[in-house]
Amino acid sequence: MIFDWSVVWQHRDALVAGTATTILLTVATMAIAVPCGIAVAILRMYGVAPVRAAATAYVELFRNLPLILVVFWAFYVLPILTGLGLSPLATGLAALVLNVTAYNAETFRAGINSIRRGQVEAAMALGMSRAQALRRVVVPQAVRRILPVLASTWVSLFKDTSLVSVIAVSELSYAAMQVRAQTFRVLEMLTAMAAIYWLLGYPQAKLTDWIQRRYAVSE
C-alpha cells in the first residue's frame, strides 16, 4: 500500500476555498439565526395565542428533524415556495438558518425563563419600570446562561455545515470529496479533510469549555 500525500498539497487551493466557505457558512448562519432566534423566542413568550402556537410548532418541528433532510427539502421546496432560483449556497444557508434559529429560540426562552419572576417584582418594587427591570436585571443574568449554550450551538453548527455538501455546496467536505473523485486518492483526501476539520474544530470545542467554566452559574 503506497500513499501519496502530495495530492493534498497539490489541491490546496480547493481545500482552502472549501474551508473559507465552511467558515463563511458558520458565521453567516449564526449572524442571522441569533436575531431570528430572539424574535421567535419573544413571539413564543409574549405573542398572541395563534402566533405563540405557530412559533412553538416551528421550534418543536425543526428541533425534531434531521438537518440533512431539511437541506434536501429546502433544495426542492424553497424554489417553488419563493419562486426564486436560489443557488445551492443560499439554499444551504437557508436550511442551516431554519435549523439553528429553532435551537437559538429555545436557548433564549430558557435563558429568560431561568430568571425567577420574583426578581422582576423586586425590581419593580424598587421603582423600576418593567422595561428597566428587563434591561438591568433579567437580561444581564440571562446572558450568562445563554452564552455557554450559544457556544456549543456554534460548534455543532460548524460541524453541521458539512451536511450541505449533499446539495453540492462546495464547502470543505464537498471540495475534499471532489478531489477524491478526481484523483482516486481516497485515504489521503479523506484524512486531510478530517484533519482540517479537527484543526478548526478542536480550538472551538476548547473555547466552549472555557466559556462554560467562565460563566458557570451556581445557585
Partner 1 sequence: MDLDFSVITDHARFLASGVGVTLLLAAVSGVTSLAAGLVVALLRLYGPPWLRPIIVLYIDSMRAIPVLVVLIWTFFALPILTGLTMPPFFAALIGLTVHLAAYAAEIVRAGIESIRPGQTRAAAALGMSRAQAVRRIILPQAIVRTLPAFGSLLSVTIKDTAIASVIAVPELMRQSETIAGQSFQPIEVYTFAMLLYFLMLFPVTRGVDRFYRRVAHLGRS
Which residues are near partner 1 by CB under 8 A? 1, 60-61, 64-70, 72-73, 76-77, 80, 155, 159-163, 165-166, 173, 177, 180, 186-187, 190-191, 193-194, 197-198, 200-202, 204-206
Nearer Cβ to partner 1, position 143 or 186?
186
Nearer Cβ to partner 1, position 124 or 215?
215
Taking alpha carbons only, the member of 22, 9, 7 closest to residue 187 is 7
> Minimal distance in Å, beta carbon 182 to partner 1?
15
> Minimal distance in Å, beta carbon 119 to partner 1?
25
Q: Which residues contact 102 (CB under 8 A, 6 or more apart)?
A: 37, 40, 58, 59, 61, 62, 63
CA 92-95-96 angle, to 5 degrees, is: 85
> Minimal distance in Å, beta carbon 114 to partner 1?
16
Range list of β-strands (E), 81-190: none
Centre a 10 Å sphere on the Cβ of residue 106 and count the other Cβ atoms it contains. 20
CA separation for the pair 52, 87 (Å, rounded): 32
Nearer Cβ to partner 1, position 104 or 137?
104
Centre a 10 Å sphere on the Cβ of residue 25 and count the other Cβ atoms it contains. 23
Nearer Cβ to partner 1, position 41 or 173?
173
> Minimal distance in Å, beta carbon 172 to partner 1?
9
C-alpha cell at 80: 417553488
C-alpha cell at 153: 450551538
CA 27-33-39 angle, to 5 degrees, is: 150
Nearer Cβ to partner 1, position 71 or 123?
71
Nearer Cβ to partner 1, position 139 or 155?
155
> For 93-102, b where at least 16 C-beta lie within 10 A, e where not — what string?
bbbbbbbbbb
> Minimal distance in Å, beta carbon 202 to partner 1?
4
> Minimal distance in Å, beta carbon 145 to partner 1?
17
